[in-house]
Amino acid sequence: MQSSDAKKLAPMARAAMGLALVFAPMVVAAMENPHAIHRPSPALMEQLAQLAAQPQRPVRKELVWSGADIDGDGAPDFANPTGAAPRGHDDFGDGRFGARRDGGSRSHEGVDYVGAAGQDVHAPISGYVTKIGYAYAGSSDLKFVEITNPALGYVARAFYVKPGVEVGDSVRLGQPIGTIESLQRRYPGIINHVHLEVMEPGGERVNAAELITQKTVVRA
Ligand SMILES: [Zn+2]
């Protein structure tokens, strides 16, 4: 090493020695008592103990049916009448809104929600029972329950329901309004369902599947 290099290093060496002198007593103290410097507080120890004692609950993701909030009050205004998905395809056609019926001469004016005969049907909207009618002219086998919500201006008709309510009753969203009738006598082999028609203010029938959608929720 050249003497000129040694001169350049000298200040750094002095600085390093100075640092060593400052920290050495702390290092010695830590070696003598490892808990002296970073001992956790009793409060922190207590928190750690509580965390360790808690059972680990797995987080579950679930798909749930969610109704549109038409009036913007933060609460849903529509509910799935059966809790199941709309009917797909069977020998009698598709369950979606606008599907072909009678060879295309008319279109399906509701959405068919799959369900089991005898299970509860839930009110698709809140309101008053304004009509209980027959699904087909000339037959008293199959009925519909009509609910009107004067505040929203919407009307909903749930078909193939054995009514558990009467005209004039007030119903809350999702409340049982009856049970599902079997469709097997009229349409042998069809998937049993509730046919739901929703009319917006003015009376136009709209696609319930756009008002009742699925979303993912996380449950702890
Ligand atoms: Zn239908």
What burial letters (b/e) apply to 156-179, b meaning 16+ CB within 10 Å?
Answer: bbbbbbbbebeeebebebbbebbb
Q: Are residues 204 and 154 in the same domain?
A: yes
Q: Are residues 103 and 14 in the same domain?
A: no
Helix (H) or strand (E) holding 155: strand 154-159
Total of domains in the chain: 2
Q: Are residues 110 and 200 in the same domain?
A: yes
From the CA of 72, how far away is ligand 1's center (Å)?
A: 29
Question: pLDDT by residue (tens digit) across 140-155?
Answer: 999 999 999 999 999 9
Q: Any idea what the CATH number is for the domain that residue 119 is in? A: 2.70.70.10
From the CA of 86, how far away is ligand 1's center (Å)?
A: 10
Q: DSSP character for 45?
A: H
Across the range 61-66, mean pLDDT stands at 94
* Comparison of pLDDT for 119 and 5, the residue scoring more: 119
Is the CB of residue 129 less than 8 Å from the CB of residue 147? Answer: yes
Q: Are residues 83 and 142 in the same domain?
A: yes
Q: Are residues 67 and 132 in the same domain?
A: yes
Residues near ion ligand 1 (CB < 5 Å) are 110, 112, 195
Q: Are residues 92 and 131 in the same domain?
A: yes
Q: Residue holding tokens 């640092």?
A: 19
pLDDT at 55: 73
- Look at 21-25, 96-100, 163-167 and tell me which has the smallest mean pLDDT: 21-25
Across the range 91-104, mean pLDDT stands at 92
Is the CB of residue 167 less than 8 Å from the CB of residue 129? Answer: yes
Q: Residue holding tokens 């599907």?
A: 99
From the CA of 55, how far away is ligand 1's center (Å)?
A: 47
Q: Are residues 31 and 125 in the same domain?
A: no
Across the range 190-202, mean pLDDT stands at 97
pTM: 0.73
Residue 23 confidence (pLDDT) above 90 = no
- The pair phi, psi for residue 6, each rounded to 5°, is -60, -35
Is the CB of residue 196 less than 8 Å from the CB of residue 81? Answer: yes
From the CA of 159, how far away is ligand 1's center (Å)?
A: 8
Helix (H) or strand (E) holding 195: strand 193-199
pLDDT at 129: 98
Alpha-carbon span 198 to 122, nearest angstrom: 14
Q: Are residues 153 and 87 in the same domain?
A: yes
Residue 34 confidence (pLDDT) above 80 = no
Residue 68 has a CB neighbour count (10 Å cut-off) of: 13
Q: Are residues 74 and 32 in the same domain?
A: no
Q: Are residues 45 and 134 in the same domain?
A: no
Q: Using alpha carbons, list the distances in angstroms from residue 115 to 6, 20, 135, 209.
A: 91, 79, 17, 16
From the CA of 54, how far away is ligand 1's center (Å)?
A: 50
Quote the domain boundaries for residue 14.
Answer: 3-53
Q: Using alpha carbons, list the distances in angstroms from residue 211 to 7, 13, 55, 214.
A: 83, 76, 39, 10
Q: Are residues 114 and 80 in the same domain?
A: yes
Q: Are residues 36 and 126 in the same domain?
A: no
pLDDT at 47: 84
From the CA of 103, how far away is ligand 1's center (Å)?
A: 15
From the CA of 51, how far away is ligand 1's center (Å)?
A: 53
From the CA of 27, how far away is ligand 1's center (Å)?
A: 81
From the CA of 140, how far away is ligand 1's center (Å)?
A: 18
From the CA of 71, how far away is ligand 1's center (Å)?
A: 27
